Amino acid sequence: MPRRHPKRIGRRLAAKYKKLRKWKLCWQKDKAGMEAARQLNVVKAWEYYDELNDALKTELNHWPDLMTSEQFVERLKSYVPLMGKGRRSAGYDWKSFRQRLVRLHFMLFDPLTRTWINRCRNMD
């Protein structure tokens, strides 16, 4: 059985629900226009991330062709502002940056020679 007087929600949450109802109504009324706007924003996002990846690729062109794991980790830590203690401190975890470089095929680890290979020099 529902409560007679439900607990009130905060202003921020109420504003969020109001905005969601507005978006739902816009999608119901003008589906073609909303879909066109969505596709335009998807293209803008792709262009933005391509630009970021190109800038990263040009920066990685200055890195050596082959690096040992110690050299690679040292270079990552010097390149990325590391996280401090506490939740709100600025910075990034160097492990996620390493995963990003591997995912984008900018760096490759060769287990036979146990070295990191910079693939950005050979991509252009």
Q: Tens of pLDDT along 64-111?
A: 999 999 999 998 888 877 665 555 556 677 888 899 999 999 999 999
The region, left, alpha or beta by phi > 0 then psi within -120 to 50, assigned to residue 112 is alpha
Domain assignments of the chain as residue spans, ordered by start: 11-60, 65-84+91-124
> What is the pLDDT at residue 85?
58
Q: What is the DSSP letter of 119?
A: -
Q: Tens of pLDDT along 35-53?
A: 999 999 999 999 999 999 9
> What is the pLDDT at residue 111?
94
- Among residues 60, 51, 50, 46, which one has the least CA distance to residue 101? 60
> What is the pLDDT at residue 121?
77
Backbone phi, psi, residue 87, to 5°:
-75, -35
